[in-house]
Structure 1
Amino acid sequence: MDETPTRLLIHGASGRMGQALLRLAAEDPSLQVVAAVVRRPPAQRVIDGVPHFAASELSGVPPFDVAIDFSLPEGFDPVLALCVARGAGFVSGTTGIDASRQAALDAAAAGIPLVWATNFSLGVAVLAELVERAAASLPGWDCDIVESHHVHKKDAPSGTALTLGESAVQGGAEPRYASLRAGDIIGEHFVQFSGLGERVELVHRASNRDIFARGALHVARQLSGRAPGRYRVRDLVGA
């Protein structure tokens, strides 16, 4: 059995997700962070044994198996290009990805395995599958998606709600959306199918933001060594 750790590049390492990825990866012997990339030249080159690089030094990072990117759209392009050039896997949760970058992902998937997702919770991935199955099994039923987040979240509906809506559409439903911004809610997604005299309710509640980092690390681990292609988080759950 191969026990060689999966070598990770963490891109966007100074952000909240990047910090969680570094902390949780350090606890997992099946993972090895070989480089952490931040926007500006780091004041300290090695932190907790992990070499740190500025975004402008991206081409000089050591060999890696998978890059995990939670950065900004302008940082997305160079790290994707680096993965293509090196034949490494690519996992990204960077938001604000426009149509041209989606096309770049499709093109890159011809040569490397990759995942771009709005949500890396493994539970949400399972929820998306259940939503598609329910929509296909309940033709003609009303489908409503209600999402709740903290008061500082600006986009509505959330990216996760829209992804769940895409799953509903795949199953033949026509989803409607509602959004709530209140308190410090991390994230709740409620999907309801309503027929005559009965309802089916599917819900996911996040109580800890670490679930997103854990999910991204799981996906990176499972993506390493796979054939080129564009994968979904749900394709790698339980793998």
Structure 2
Amino acid sequence: MSSAGAAPRRVAVAGASGRMGRMLIEALLVSDDCVLSGALDRTGSPALGEDAGAFLGRSTGVIIGADLARGLADAEVLIDFTRPEGTLEHLAACRARGVQLVIGTTGFDAAGKAAIGAAAKDIAIMMAPNMSVGVNVVLRLLDQAARALGEGYDVEIVEAHHRHKVDAPSGTALQMGEVVAGALGRSLKDCAVYGREGTTGARDAATIGFATVRGGDVIGDHTVMFLGPGERIEISHKSSSRGTYAQGALRAVRFLRGRAPGLYGMDAVLGFDPT
């Protein structure tokens, strides 16, 4: 948390012309302890050269550009909700310049995750597949539910997102699966089932199933079902605005002020005790 009287944190935004980028910029422009210092977008984006606040009819003096050095020149923190390849490029630039990083990008492979872990030896990074405060409360509830219910309940995870989402299952659904699997003493890598078709045979009680829905403009719905004899428990989270992710990202920016290098999660941002 920022200390009283401290200067506002200078924040750059990657993917500035995207849906999430614009939400982050809007949140920064009304924040009293964070300011927009840079706006980055991909080479060839039609938004390059525009004022970052143009979509709101506002002049911020921050021009959207593709030059990393220029975009990060005045930044203390970069918020990145883009794609794995872009985020990893930004990661190297932030590491070289000592700029902290808030990562909401999903879909990293093992090598990408390893690169982030290596960079965290030099800079403070907060990484979470979902920065909604509500989602992270749900993750805690899932851990408690799985531990209390034990092995007698089948677990199925259903998630829905807009038609433009490119990875499946969502990073949030996978994190939910990892939380439940960990609480049950399993490895998600070994017990996840990502699709069923044809004659599948009886359900293996040790598995955790995933179902993915893509369509329309759904921002993000997740439901974890614990299905037992005679009852079904469902724990759900439904997003109606990306503003929740933006506010969570700004909480992460505040959390990182003065932090030592390391890789942090939303549990740390929200002050949850380790389980």
Name the TM-score, length of structure 1 as normaliser: 0.88
| 1:19 aligned residue | 22
29, 49, 54: which one aligns with 2:32: 29
Deviations 1:63-102 (A, max 9, x none): 3221101223332223212221232221112233222111
Q: How many residues align?
A: 238
| 1:119 aligned residue | 130
67, 71, 92: which one aligns with 2:103: 92
Deviation at 1:198, TM superposition (A): 3.4
Separation (CA, whole Å) in 2 of partners of 1:105 and 1:19: 25
Separation (CA, whole Å) in 1 of partners of 2:42 and 2:170: 26
Deviations 1:186-214 (A, max 9, x none): 22111122333333321101111222222
1:71 to 2:77 alignment: no
Secondary structure, aligned partner of 1:226: coil
Q: Give the alignment of 1:85-234 within 5 angstroms.
A: 85-140=96-151, 141-153=153-165, 155-172=167-184, 174-234=207-267
Secondary structure, aligned partner of 2:250: helix
Deviation at 1:105, TM superposition (A): 0.6
Instruction: Identify which range, 46-55 or 214-223, moves more after superposition.
Output: 46-55
Contact kept, 8 Å, 1:66 with 1:224, in 2: the verdict is no
Separation (CA, whole Å) in 1 of partners of 2:247 and 2:161: 20
Contact kept, 8 Å, 2:49 with 2:65, in 1: the verdict is no
Separation (CA, whole Å) in 1 of partners of 2:180 and 2:93: 35
State the percentage of identical aligned residues. 41
Separation (CA, whole Å) in 2 of partners of 1:134 and 1:33: 40
26, 31, 49: which one aligns with 1:43: 49
1:136/1:183 CA distance change after superposition, 3 Å: same
Q: What RMSD, in angstroms, separates the aligned Cα atoms of the two structures?
A: 2.3
Q: Which runs of 4+ in 1 moved over 6 A?
A: none
1:231/1:192 CA distance change after superposition, 3 Å: same
Deviations 1:216-236 (A, max 9, x none): 122122222212211112321
Say which one has the larger Rg. Answer: 2
1:49/1:202 CA distance change after superposition, 3 Å: same
1:59 to 2:69 alignment: yes
Structure 2: 5+ residue stretches without partners: 54-58, 187-206
Contact kept, 8 Å, 1:12 with 1:69, in 2: the verdict is yes
Structure 1: 5+ residue stretches without partners: none
Contact kept, 8 Å, 1:11 with 1:67, in 2: the verdict is yes
1:150/1:18 CA distance change after superposition, 3 Å: closer
